[in-house]
Structure 1
């Protein structure tokens, strides 16, 4: 249990730094890093409560910038349904398959961000994709704990300004976590021990967020983003190597 606490604290501190810097991306760090030491269901369960609390707080902080609420509503409802379906897959699939999936998703995310940093979608067209994008993001979040290849890429491609991007993606992640948390209890993955660890993990997550914001102001978003991509690449390769 001591090792679990130390790994979780480090993972959530790094995830909080990333979230404070760009407003998203915590599971991209937390899930692969914890999955190296434990299985994916454990990592996903520990992440559920911090995801809910941090995104509710961040979304509330930026609530005045949340516009186009009909789009956000369709996105979050679809994501919630997807999170339920994904949690059922999490409970049914073999752990090593899930670990490989997490690693591959992380690699895809890094590769796509490097190859297409300026990829964009027409806003009207992107808006029409709210339901399928939300549903697929929810399934990935529920089954593997990482929706960034869909959620972050999709919303980033809409070229939303930072003050709109943060409450929109916070609402998306909060909706998925709100459904995922009771679903994990229902399928027997979430235990009291994991729930207490999940609650404890909120501390380093919130401590890391102002650090990330300060680092971006000091070094710039691009330098910080590249550092995170290198770290994520190493984590993903290690996770896949230990799962095959």
Structure 2
């Protein structure tokens, strides 16, 4: 096999490895962001469906880790089961869009989701949801989050702002995010598999991405004690904004 035949594969593997190392580092520092970073970076290199298939196992492993680290899993499942059900329904229903029927619009949708998420972080949008509205809002937020996940591979809109608006204790918020991201990951895997966009070959590639993701997460946890979380988050949102705009405008100009 010639060098010209192997160099594209080598470059692809290197790009995927560095992406998940970076994404894991962000998650280690902030407690979230692995799928968002992975989809944002890989979305510039490949179709969103390919990127989504790659992130399944790294996202699942790191989010289960985050989910099981907290003390109140049972209570959070009972509280948010309607939201989680909505996420599954919305994601599975919309996964055919990112898997092929959406074409270039899946990339545009990914860019829009990243741009909105980054803008909300940079502008420090904060909402408060009164407890009396939670039971009615949770399934709606779940379904909308699922539709966005199925269409773009991004799990954060509007689930993250909504969970933050409930004013949960820090430990409960981190674990609730882990629950939401874990359910979103499993639902996305089911949706992609139903659309024949997540096969055994994709499973192998996704498995290889777990190692750099875990290394990055470990490094991020070490870094967290030496930098300002606020500064890191600000730069993270700036980078997400740049990636989002690039993807959003790619097919519009």
Shared fold per TM-score greater than 0.5 = yes
Matched, 1:108 2:108: no
The farther-off stretch of 143-152 and 180-189 is 180-189
Q: TM-score, normalised by structure 2?
A: 0.88
Q: Post-superposition shift, 1:138?
A: 1.4
Structure 1, unaligned stretches of length 5 or more?
Answer: none
DSSP-derived class of the 1:219 partner: coil
Distance in 1 between residues matched to 2:174 and 2:30, nearest whole Å: 8
The farther-off stretch of 48-57 and 28-37 is 48-57
The answer (yes or no) to whether the contact 2:109–2:151 under 8 Å persists in 1 is no
The answer (yes or no) to whether the contact 2:117–2:156 under 8 Å persists in 1 is yes
Matched, 1:204 2:212: yes
The answer (yes or no) to whether the contact 1:59–1:170 under 8 Å persists in 2 is yes
The farther-off stretch of 120-129 and 183-192 is 120-129
Q: How many residues align?
A: 244
Equivalence for 1:131:
139
Matched, 1:143 2:143: no
DSSP-derived class of the 1:129 partner: helix
RMSD after superposition: 1.9
Pick one of 166, 170, 173 that aligns with 1:165.
173
Equivalence for 1:86:
94
**What does 1:214-233 correspond to in 2, within 5 Å?**
214-233=222-241
Q: TM-score, normalised by structure 1?
A: 0.91
Distance in 1 between residues matched to 2:161 and 2:206, nearest whole Å: 27
Deviations 1:117-168 (A, max 9, x none): 4433224423531111111111211220113121111111222222111211
Deviations 1:5-27 (A, max 9, x none): 22221221222122222222222
**What does 1:1-244 correspond to in 2, within 5 Å?**
1-64=9-72, 67-244=75-252
Q: Post-superposition shift, 1:66?
A: 5.8
DSSP-derived class of the 1:240 partner: helix
Deviations 1:77-128 (A, max 9, x none): 2211111012122234333111111111111111122224443322442353
DSSP-derived class of the 2:198 partner: coil
Distance in 2 between residues matched to 1:162 and 1:3, nearest whole Å: 40
The answer (yes or no) to whether the contact 1:82–1:134 under 8 Å persists in 2 is yes
Deviations 1:200-238 (A, max 9, x none): 111111111122223332222211100101111221222
